[in-house]
Amino acid sequence: MAKKEVMTTKTDQELKKLLAETRAKLREVRFTAAGARAKDSDAPKKLRATIARILTEQNARVTA
């Protein structure tokens, strides 16, 4: 099992870039899953969790 990325060590710019890339991957996985059986059926869940971690860290920085 892969280790989760630590969001607290990333800069604001890195978080924005990672968020955009992860959302693009999620969009891609959703549309490829509609056409054929997905290789990793758990991929959307993992991507949504990563997006939530990024947004949580961004929100924590804004409120702090």
pTM of the predicted model as reported, rounded to 2 decimal places: 0.84
What percentage of the chain exceeds 70 in pLDDT?
91
pLDDT tens figures, 15-39: 999 999 999 999 998 888 777 776 7
The CATH code of domain 12-63 reads: 1.10.287
Q: Per-domain residue ranges for the chain?
A: 12-63
- Cα(40)–Cα(54) distance, rounded to whole angstroms? 22
What contacts 44, CB < 8 A, 6 or more positions away?
26, 29, 30, 33
Cα torsion 60, 61, 63, 64 to 10°: value is: 110
Give the pLDDT score at 48: 96
- Cα(32)–Cα(63) distance, rounded to whole angstroms? 37
Give the amino acid at 28: E
